[in-house]
Structure 1
Amino acid sequence: MEILSGGRENAIFKRNDTVVRPLNSYSSSIHLLLQHFEKQGIEGVPRFVAIDGDNEVVTFVEGQTVNYPLSGAAASDAAVKSAGKLLRCLHDASVGFIADASYKYQQWMLPVREPVEVMCHGDYAPYNVALVGNEVVGIFDFDTAHPAPRLWDLAYAIYCWAPFKTHVYDKLGELPDQIYRAKLFCDAYGMTKSQRQQLVATMIERLQALVDFMKQQATEGNTQFIANLADGHHLSYLADIDYLQQNGKQIIAGLME
């Protein structure tokens, strides 16, 4: 088996055309969601295959994978547009999943957030997609999926794709470039005027929720998040919150043009 990079070190493997990943307490909920997408005929998402001991087996999503700093295909306009279109497709397809109130009794990594409109991916970032050429054709790692408003998912996705990041490793371009890319995503998704007006405030709220979640998990003994805090990962998010607060009016103005 081939070890796949990213995520949990030496814990995720590619076996033929499948991926073998450790099971989590919420995995059965994710499997139901993936099966729903399969029934809807949604392409580019993993298919649940089987449970293998302490692991889950899902199909491998074909395509090129990327990470920060963004460059080449992942930094192209086409990638941003296709990412927005694919997220809209996933959100729309998930409406039927939450129509059945049983989602309330499922376990999710992240808390359910009202008003529930769709199933959010929760981490719709460039490192969780697959590209063919400049087109985003697939999305994987649904561990953070949870019921929430569309804008909750959009806020983090656009933050990651613009990206409105200040760390030298993660940054791409200056503020006008970031606003341009954010607007491409908004337009491709078909975001409403109201959603655009609320986007920056929701990004700030989403990032603060992420920092709070990291601290909570570290307090509960989660070694991954203990290491993340020790490395100062949360400080980058706090710096990005400041950046969004300072430039929020300009960002919203650009999105509304």
Structure 2
Amino acid sequence: MTKYVSCRHHSQSARSEHQGAVMEALEGGRENAIYRKGELVSRPASHWTMTVHQLLQHLHSHGFAACPKAVSIEGGKELLTFVEGETYNYPLEGPIGSLMALKSAAKLLRRFHDASESFLKLNTQDVHHWMLPSRSPKEVICHGDFMPYNVALEGDVVVGVFDFDTAHPAPRIWDIAFSVYGWAPFKTDEDDKMGTLEEQIRRAKIFCDAYGCTRLEREELVEVMTLRLTALVDHMRSMAANGDAQFQANMEDCHHTAYLQDIEYINKHHQAITLGVLGEIKF
């Protein structure tokens, strides 16, 4: 199963002439809504976009340049710089499925989290608008969707990350757990799954090692993975019930069913995954 809402930018699905320049329609969850013109990307703006732009500006000013630069918000659109690199989707084949991509992704997530800590310290009043609700303890800004389809690679090294719509304050483990789920990946869909359970657990441990996860984070990993996926399904249902056409289509396509099956799979192997990422059993 592929991403339910995205700003993937690896494939141009359509082109049009606009003011003498080529506009490239980029693949993603919002059909005909995301365009690239030169080094800029135009995307629909939402009520959380200003907050995301403030975050991106902060990240760049504090040495994290692996994300888009915020340019402007005007006429219901946001402008961002294009993140250069090769991008992929499931199944994780080729460079995106390599151990180097896995390790470099985890290290990039750690760098992002560390850079985001100061943003939280400067904004303690919690007056920002985010797409997703904040969760306590508010340790970092979570990307919210740090998946293989939201990163850019040079060779087999992850060098950039984009689509910060789902960013929100939360514990590190909230982002780590969802990322491990997507990068192991602990998926059951025929189009998304990769390797055996043992191979998935091995990849999960490699991700945790590269990130520098604590023992407590590893012990909590499976529980938080299932909580995060449950929150995702609840969000999809809520948005569909409130009339969001994209989420209604996702529900009709049974995207939520795949996540529920993944939750069952993860819970079934709770002990093996936990012992594996702790390094107490070898795979």
Shorter-chain TM range is: over 0.9
Identify the match of residue 213 of structure 1 among 224, 228, 235.
235
Identify the match of residue 153 of structure 2 among 131, 139, 155.
131
Structure 1's unaligned 5+ residue stretches are: none
Q: Take 2:160 and 2:123, find their aligned partners in 1: how far apart are those partners?
A: 28
Identify the match of residue 262 of structure 2 among 240, 243, 251.
240
Identify the match of residue 65 of structure 2 among 43, 54, 57.
43
Q: Take 2:218 and 2:73, find their aligned partners in 1: how far apart are those partners?
A: 41
Q: Take 2:29 and 2:124, find their aligned partners in 1: how far apart are those partners?
A: 29
Alignment-mate amino acid for residue 196 of structure 2 = E
Q: Count residues in correspondence.
A: 257
In the alignment, which residue of structure 1 is the partner of 2:181?
Answer: 159
Q: Take 2:185 and 2:257, find their aligned partners in 1: how far apart are those partners?
A: 17
Q: Take 2:141 and 2:113, find their aligned partners in 1: how far apart are those partners?
A: 6
Indicate the SS of the match to 1:238.
helix
Which structure has more helix as a fraction of its residues? Answer: 1
- Identity across the alignment (%): 53
Alignment-mate amino acid for residue 147 of structure 1 = P
Cα drift, residue 208 of structure 1: 0.5
In the alignment, which residue of structure 2 is the partner of 1:224?
Answer: 246
Q: Take 1:9 and 1:182, find their aligned partners in 2: how far apart are those partners?
A: 33
TM-score with structure 1 length normalisation? 0.98
5 Å-filtered alignment, 1:158-197, equals 158-197=180-219
Indicate the SS of the match to 2:194.
coil
Structure 2's unaligned 5+ residue stretches are: 1-22
Q: Take 2:219 and 2:80, find their aligned partners in 1: how far apart are those partners?
A: 38
Q: Take 1:24 and 1:70, find their aligned partners in 2: how far apart are those partners?
A: 31
Q: Take 2:234 and 2:121, find their aligned partners in 1: how far apart are those partners?
A: 30
Q: Take 2:66 and 2:60, find their aligned partners in 1: how far apart are those partners?
A: 10
Alignment-mate amino acid for residue 7 of structure 1 = G
Cα drift, residue 102 of structure 1: 4.6
Identify the match of residue 198 of structure 1 among 220, 245, 270.
220
The superposition leaves residues 160-201 of structure 1 with CA deviations (integer Å, 9 ceiling, x where unpaired) of: 000000000000001011011111110000000110010000
In the alignment, which residue of structure 2 is the partner of 1:100?
Answer: 122
Cα drift, residue 141 of structure 1: 0.2
Alignment-mate amino acid for residue 165 of structure 1 = K
Cα drift, residue 100 of structure 1: 2.4
The superposition leaves residues 209-241 of structure 1 with CA deviations (integer Å, 9 ceiling, x where unpaired) of: 111111111111111111111110000000000
Q: Take 2:125 and 2:86, find their aligned partners in 1: how far apart are those partners?
A: 32
Structure 1 consecutive aligned stretches of length 4 or more whose deviation exceeds 3 Å: none
Cα drift, residue 249 of structure 1: 0.3
